[in-house]
Structure 1
Amino acid sequence: MRTGAGAGRSGYVHEAVCYDSDEHLLAVVVPFLLGGVAAGEPTLVSFGERNAALVAAALPPGCPVTFLTGGDVYARPAGAIRAYRTLLADHMVTGAAQIRIVGELGREQLGDSWDWWARYESAINYAYDEYPLWSMCAYDTRATPAAVLADVRRTHPTTAGPRERHTANAEYTGPETFLLENRPEAADPLQRHAPAADVADVAPDAARRIVRAVGEGRVGPAKLDDLTLAVSEIVANAHRYGRPPVRVRVWAADGRVVVTVDDAGPGPKDPFAGLLAAPSERSAGFGLWITHQVCDHVSLQRTPDGFALRMTVGG
C-alpha cells in the first residue's frame, strides 16, 4: 500500500521543492525521507555533495536512506531517464509498493542547457508513470533563474512545502503540450561568428565528412565520432521525414563543436522523440534518440520556416 501523497493513487507523483534556505529544504525533505523509511519503502537521495551532506547530518544515525552517487547520471536527459527507469524496475521486481526519491539538478543544468532539462522534467511525467514513484525535485530559489522556476511550475503538477503541504501548480502543462512548444534557445557563443561550413542539400555521408574535417583536432576523437554519428542520423531523418532544403552548418573552437541541421518540415510529431528509446532502429525517433545519447547538448526549434536541431559536443 502506498503512503503519503501516493496513497490511493497509481503511477508517478512528481513534486517540486522550491526552497529559500537550508532550513526550508530540510523541513520538506527530512519528513519525506523518514516517512518512506517508516513505511518500509525504498527511499533514495540524489543530491550534490553539499546538500547530500546537509540531509545526511539531519537524519538519525543509521537511517536506512540510500544516497546515490555518480553525478554523471544527469549528464544527459535521455541517459537519466534510462538509468532511473532501470532503477525503478529493479525495485518493483523486489516488491516495492512505492519508491521515494528526492533529487536535484546541478547548477550547470540550470544555465544555457536548461531547455533540454526542462524537456526532461516534463517528459518524466509520462516516462515514470508506470512505476509507483513519489519524487521531489529540489530547486534553490536563491540561485535558480526566474525563467527556470517558471518552467518548474509548468513541469511539476504539485509543489511540496513544510508541514507536509502539497499545493497544485495552476501553471502545470502536460508533456504532450509542453514538449511540442518552442523552448527559449540561448545562442551558442560560437554562433556569433560565421560558420566554418555551410552547405545545403547535403547527404548523410557528405555531412559526416564535413563535420569531421571541421572538428578534427578541436575535440577528442571519441567525441568527434559521436558527433559525426549524430549528424549522419539527423541529416538522414531530415531527408526521410522533413522537406528540402536540408542545410548543415558547423562551428568549431578548441574543445567545442556545434552543428545545426534544418529543413522545411514540421519536425517530429512524437513529443517524446529523443528522450525515450525508439521502438526500433527503423522508427522515425531512433536517430533523434541516438543523438540525445551522445551529444552534450541538443536543442530543437520549430519555426515558420521549418525545423532546426542543434547538436553540441565539448564544454
Structure 2
Amino acid sequence: MRTGAAAGHTGYFHEAAVYSSERELLDIAVPFLLGGVAAGEPTLVAFSGPHADLIRRATADDPGIIYLAGGDMYARPAGAIAEYRKLLARLVAEGAQQIRIIGELAASAFGATWDWWARYESAINHAYDEFPLWSMCAYETATTPPGVMADVLRTHPRTAGPNGEHTPNETYLDPVSYLGEPQPAPADPLLRQAPAWTLVDPTPAAVRQAVRSAAPATLTSTGADLGGFMVAVSEGVTNALRHGRGPIRVRLWISSQRMVLAVTDQGAGPKDPFAGLLPLAEADPGGLGLWLSHQLCDHVSMHRDATGFTIRLTAGDPDADR
C-alpha cells in the first residue's frame, strides 16, 4: 500500500526537493522520513557529510532510517542506477510496498559533468518505474546554477516544498523526449587547443597503443583508472566501426590531469535514448560498449552535430584545466 503524497500512485514517484536553507531542508526531509518509518516502509537517506549529520540530529537518529554512503552511490550515473536497482529489487523481494529515499548529488556534479547527471535524473523516471519508490532529490537554490535548476525541473515530474506541497512541474518532459533532444557538445577549454593526435579509420588496437604512448605519467596520481579508460576507448572505437558510418575520426587531448578522447563517425548515433545509462536487455557483447564506458570513465558525453555523432571519454578530473 502506498502512503503519503504517493498514495494511489503506481511505479516511481519522483520529486525534486528544492530548498533555500537548512531549515527548509529539514521541513521537507523530516516529515518525509518519519512518515516512512511510521508506515513501516524502508526509509533511506543518501546525503553525505554535514547534511547527513543535520538529519540525524533532527530525527534523533531514528533507528528506522537507513543511511547510505551518498558519495559512493553517486560516483557515476550508470553505476548509481545499477546499485539502486539492485537495492530496490532486494527491498521489494523482502516485501516492501513502498520505499522512501531522499538524497542529493555532490556540488561537483554541477560542473563539467552535469550533462550526464541531467541524463541520469531523466532516465531514472524509466529505470525505477517498476518499483514502488518515492524519492526526493534535494537541490539548494543558492548553490545550484540556474541552468542546472532548469534541467532539474525538466527531469522531475513534481517538486516537494517545505510547506508540505507537492507541485507538478510545468516544464517536465518524459525521459524519451528529454533524452532525445539534440544537445550541444559540452564546452571544454582543453578542446580549444589542437589535439595531441588525430587518427582516421583506425583499429581499436591502434587507438589503444596511441593512447598508451601519450598518457602522461602524472595522470595516475589523480586517481584516474587508465585500465578502465583503455577498455572504454576500445569499446568506443568498436561501436563506431560496427554501428556508425565512416570515415571515423579519433582525437586525443591531454593535460597533466586528464585525457579526453573523442570518437566521431558519420552515423546518427544510438537509437536507444537510455544508451549508456542502462544495459541493453538483448545486446551482444559489443552492444554493451556505451554502458561499460559510462561505468569506467570519469565523464562520458555524447552529441550529434553537422560533423556526425561524437562520444567523448574522459580519464582524470573532468573539472581540471577549467
TM-score norm. by structure 2 comes to: 0.94
Alignment correspondent of 2:106: 106
Code of the residue aligned with 2:260 in structure 1: it is V
Q: Does the 8 Å CA contact 1:216/1:224 hold for their aligned counterparts?
A: no
Could you tell me which runs of 5 or more consecutive residues in structure 1 were left unpaired when the two chains were aligned: none
Q: Cα 1:231–1:61, aligned 2, differ >3 Å: closer, same or farther? A: closer
User: In the alignment, which residue of structure 1 is the partner of 2:115?
Assistant: 115
Answer yes or no: is 1:41 the counterpart of 2:36: no
Match of 2:239 among 233, 237, 241: 237
Q: Summarize the alignment of residues 254-273 of structure 1 with structure 2, pairs less than 5 Å apart.
A: 254-273=256-275
**1:300 aligns to 2:302 (yes or no):** yes
3-state DSSP of counterpart to 2:225: helix
Query: Which residue of the partner structure matches residue 131 of structure 2?
Result: 131
Cα drift, residue 76 of structure 1: 0.6
Q: Is the 8 A contact 1:47 1:103 kept in 2?
A: yes
Within 5 Å, which residues of 2 pair with 1:10-159? 10-69=10-69, 71-159=71-159
TM-score by length of 1: 0.96
- Deviation track 1:146-181 (CA, whole Å, cap 9, x = no partner) reads 000000000000000123211000100111111122
Work out the CA distance in 2 between the residues paired with 1:90 and 1:234: 33
Q: CA deviation at 1:187?
A: 2.5
3-state DSSP class of the match of 2:180?
coil
**Which residue is equivalent to 2:248?**
246
Q: Which amino acid aligns with 1:17?
A: A
- Tell me which moved more, 5-14 or 54-63: 54-63
- Note the C-alpha offset of 1:70: 5.4
Give the corresponding residue for 1:309: 311
Which segments of 5 or more consecutive residues in structure 2 lack a partner in the other structure?
318-322
Aligned CA RMSD, in angstroms, stands at: 1.6
Q: Which moved more, 1:38-47 or 1:201-210?
A: 201-210
Shift of 1:63: 4.3
Rounded Cα–Cα distance in structure 2 between residues aligned with 1:301 and 1:234: 14
265-274 vs 57-66, greater mean Cα deviation? 57-66
Please give the residue correspondences for 1:212-227 in structure 2 after superposition, counting only pairs within 5 Å: 212-220=212-220, 223-227=225-229
What is the CA–CA distance in structure 2 between the aligned matches of 1:281 and 1:131, rounded to whole Å?
Answer: 24
Cα distance in 2, alignment partners of residues 274 and 223 from structure 1? 18
> In 1, Cα distance between the equivalents of 2:7 and 2:157?
16
State how far apart, in whole Å, the 1-side matches of 2:308 and 2:184 are: 16
Instruction: Report how far residue 62 of structure 1 moved.
Output: 3.5
Between the aligned partners of 2:61 and 2:209, the Cα distance in structure 1 is 58
**Contact (CA 8 Å) 2:48, 2:70: kept in 1 or not?**
no
The one-letter code sitting in structure 2 at the alignment partner of 1:108 is S
Distance 2:51 2:185 in 1: 29
Contact kept, 8 Å, 1:45 with 1:65, in 2: the verdict is yes
Partner residue, 1:2? 2
Q: Are 1:218 and 1:256, in contact at CA under 8 Å, matched by a contact in 2?
A: no
Query: What's the CA shift string for 1:81-126, capped at 9, x where partnerless?
Result: 0000011111111100000000100000011110000000000000
- Percent identity, aligned pairs only, is 55
C-alpha distance in 2 between matches for 1:185 and 1:52: 35
User: Once structures 1 and 2 are overlaid, which stretch shifts more, 224-233 or 33-42?
Assistant: 224-233
Q: Distance in 2 between matches of 1:31 and 1:300?
A: 39
Equivalent residue number for residue 288 of structure 1: 290
Moved more, 119-128 or 48-57: 48-57
Find the aligned partners of 2:286 and 2:244 in 1 and give their Cα distance: 11
